[in-house]
Structure 1
């Protein structure tokens, strides 16, 4: 059995000594500007009633790292006398306008008080930005204009939380849920309510908003939606919602969220007691994989692998067990670079410069899985697959995992989980992005996840990570429904026991492949170290002495190569970058060899 692999993460928000806590993450990726926007609530304590303001961090995504700006308070995203909660960003690709929806709750009034009394003190609010989140306009209270007198039928309501979406038609969708009052005076002043999910939508690029009908059937609360294309050209809106019934609830809409069909339980997606928020994001299925039974596509020769390493702006180090770096005390921004999967490190790395060149210290193998977003000559429309993130423990909020469904309409199609964080974890939000490592190369499918986590509680910090589709498929459990959709034909089958010509011994490779050199020196492009095997090239990017110690029993099989003597291995290569790009067994092709046989 392979050792578990967790994508390295950057801590964006951390609980303060004063008790100030950051909760309810929302993530949005803007492809136009290659920017991530990370939102969350700033609370005086972890309690919902102690929510205060909304804050954000903006990260610029470069070729293989993210540089994060400092935390900013969204000073306009509030109503006087109210606390701001449940951020829900949505971007209009047609106008370039970014909307941030949130609810404003009067004072410290709790949700439970509203449910018991039926006295709704929650307002629907929005701020907008036309410069990618650098500046924000004043808050607009949309409650009366959008909800009107229907607000009297709701004991309370909330948004998302997490990202909204825009459909191909231009319609903007903001997921929401409301507690409908069934009987207001049933037992003295006690109120009976039933929660159901629904969507706010706009067909006027945010000028006017309406809300659709609630999801009928089982109780459903916090939710997110995905626009799902099917091979025959049909499109449905898929809603995935939290439920107190032990598993998630899903529902479909054939009219872009105005009316939903009856909700159905999804037994494969378990919920802990009382449920927990989860996130869904859709993406166009990779070429060939979308045609069932054809197996994984052949992997292109040029590829990248991504892992995160950060320099926090608050002068504290991220979790050393994930290979992240300690910042200098004067650091004012966080940068994240992405490299190959590693086993958790035993020690944190040394100081890493916040400059772009220093952040570009670790690269490794991944597989580009190309996408196809147009019809083929046979009138084939690329279907939509869906990724879902949620704590995986059935009895507690622990071990955040990701799941994959090639056919989300089928509640039994979910495969997973791949646990990406082991320990206390709760709310999360996903974003989909395409990575183009080199000009002219097909895009690589990747996902970013912003999630609550911690060592003692799930609310110690909010972290960010990136992982690829291939990583997800490769780390899904073997006993999942992938075979029905032809996705398990070429998954990595763990360590090999015998070295074959043209293949890589993955066990030996794992001894070598680490994340950042922590021996007091950062090795950059001109100072890379890597071992050369008789049949392969892999490179070391973490702890040279540690690697040598781990490999002392097999040292005779490796030659340690530096920039001074790399020209002789292989013969004729005069440029270190060319060596990595063109050597027939360079580490970017590792998965090509380990995934077969």
Structure 2
């Protein structure tokens, strides 16, 4: 479950992380009982994926002490081959009900550190008349500083509920850099958190009101890349300035579903229905110390070097734009990643049910255009009928998203555009 690859460019090794679950124990059962049944596993390839080594069980090494010591020889089996892993059936650390990695991809920092995004359901109160009282999801990372020989777990995003996440390195020039985490959340908006120690710990997270979350949440992709030079930025902003983005077009080869009968019954959501034109429920308050205005945001981070406020890194975010269901895959752009209100409105590249995704930069084309690729779930009636592949350039993104950030709502209902469904 939850495949999550990370590539070590220094050793040309691909680490493919995944979770193995004992028996048929659903995540919901682990959360309800507070008894973890998940194992952290990894396979590696040194020939660009043509062959793979045997699976490693990294749970004891990377997750930590166990609650129970029941041991059995239980081979893990994949659809294609017997991986031959011996599972030690033990729980996670004492206050984890369960955990998982990804899904999506990990990253490597300039220092060489390998990072794998992950999340856990922490048991906040264990005993309540013989049952688990309360759990909460929190994003974190697994990391390695020795090219994957050993792995460690970082600290959790400490405050807001945050789940499936992806990471991006924000380049700060000579001032160093930050690690940016963007996570799924049940709070109505995405959650972002920053790390100043390369993912070993995270500062308190904050809601990103410009990035609406679907009901119950959905995994989303994040990708950092070097922004264009200042002269190109000015040219693009001027050429692309408009009140509304261009009419969205579908990626080549991706079929458009019929306009009737679209439903989405994603298994982990329990939802079905259509994306309408009604406003979503009000989002929860930002909480103490979290300002709702753009002007008041900058002073909240006095520890940041001044040069980091002008980070040359831009971010792309890929996620369904529907609030009630997983509908209409959209691309958002942020030219100022430290500002949670800097995200543009989406450029919708697929009309219809869509879900999980993973973004990658595939470098400049022969003509020098920075190009991206994405794998994403799509379908005609539900969001996971197919896996679609799409390529697009930065120039196309700049032509199809507004020149500036999405207008920030000051207490009113969220702005939402009606789309055919």
Asked whether 1:412 is paired with 2:337, we answer no
User: In 2, are the aligned partners of 1:99 and 1:129 still within 8 Å (CA)?
Assistant: yes
User: In 2, are the aligned partners of 1:290 and 1:383 still within 8 Å (CA)?
Assistant: no
CA distance in 2, matches of 1:298, 1:116: 54
In the alignment, which residue of structure 1 is the partner of 2:381? 456
In the alignment, which residue of structure 2 is the partner of 1:391? 320
1:59-107 CA distances to partner (integer Å, 9 max, x unpaired)?
Answer: xxxxxxxxxxxxxxxxxxxxxxxxxx00000000000000000000112
Asked whether 1:111 is paired with 2:53, we answer no
The Cα of 1:436 is off from its aligned counterpart by: 3.0
TM-score of the superposed pair, with normalisation by structure 2: 0.72
1:543-575 CA distances to partner (integer Å, 9 max, x unpaired)?
Answer: xxxxxxxxxxxxxxxxxxxxxxxxxxxxxxxxx
SS at match of 2:62: helix
> 5+ residue gaps in structure 1?
1-84, 300-305, 311-317, 323-380, 483-597
In the alignment, which residue of structure 1 is the partner of 2:293? none
CA distance in 2, matches of 1:307, 1:434: 22
RMSD: 2.7
Change (3 A) 1:203 1:289: farther
- State which of 390, 394, 409 in structure 2 corresponds to 1:469: 394
Asked whether 1:100 is paired with 2:19, we answer no
The Cα of 1:466 is off from its aligned counterpart by: 0.4
In the alignment, which residue of structure 2 is the partner of 1:197? 139
User: In 2, are the aligned partners of 1:398 and 1:425 still within 8 Å (CA)?
Assistant: yes
CA distance in 1, matches of 2:14, 2:224: 20
The Cα of 1:191 is off from its aligned counterpart by: 4.2
User: In 2, are the aligned partners of 1:307 and 1:465 still within 8 Å (CA)?
Assistant: no
1:194-233 CA distances to partner (integer Å, 9 max, x unpaired)?
Answer: 1110000000000011111001111000000100013664
SS at match of 1:112: helix
Asked whether 1:279 is paired with 2:215, we answer no
Matches for 1:88-487 after TM superposition, within 5 Å:
88-149=4-65, 151-230=93-172, 233-288=175-230, 319=255, 383-437=312-366, 443-477=368-402, 480-481=405-406
CA distance in 1, matches of 2:94, 2:173: 43
CA distance in 1, matches of 2:231, 2:139: 32
Asked whether 1:86 is paired with 2:22, we answer no
CA distance in 2, matches of 1:154, 1:148: 11
CA distance in 2, matches of 1:267, 1:105: 34
CA distance in 2, matches of 1:160, 1:135: 22
CA distance in 2, matches of 1:204, 1:270: 38
SS at match of 1:257: coil
CA distance in 1, matches of 2:154, 2:366: 41
CA distance in 1, matches of 2:146, 2:404: 46
The Cα of 1:192 is off from its aligned counterpart by: 1.8
CA distance in 2, matches of 1:478, 1:386: 15
Instruction: Work out which of the two has the higher radius of gyration on C-alpha atoms and give 1 or 2.
Output: 1
User: In 1, are the aligned partners of 2:167 and 2:179 still within 8 Å (CA)?
Assistant: yes
CA distance in 1, matches of 2:226, 2:235: 17
CA distance in 1, matches of 2:388, 2:359: 12
TM-score of the superposed pair, with normalisation by structure 1: 0.51
The Cα of 1:297 is off from its aligned counterpart by: 9.4
Change (3 A) 1:273 1:481: closer
1:149-174 CA distances to partner (integer Å, 9 max, x unpaired)?
Answer: 15232100011110100001100000
In the alignment, which residue of structure 2 is the partner of 1:495? none
CA distance in 2, matches of 1:391, 1:307: 14
The Cα of 1:288 is off from its aligned counterpart by: 1.8
SS at match of 2:230: coil
CA distance in 1, matches of 2:406, 2:239: 22
In the alignment, which residue of structure 2 is the partner of 1:542? none
CA distance in 1, matches of 2:363, 2:238: 17
User: In 2, are the aligned partners of 1:226 and 1:280 still within 8 Å (CA)?
Assistant: yes
Change (3 A) 1:140 1:456: same
SS at match of 2:3: strand
Change (3 A) 1:270 1:309: closer
1:22-53 CA distances to partner (integer Å, 9 max, x unpaired)?
Answer: xxxxxxxxxxxxxxxxxxxxxxxxxxxxxxxx
User: In 2, are the aligned partners of 1:288 and 1:296 still within 8 Å (CA)?
Assistant: no
User: In 2, are the aligned partners of 1:101 and 1:124 still within 8 Å (CA)?
Assistant: yes
The Cα of 1:144 is off from its aligned counterpart by: 0.7
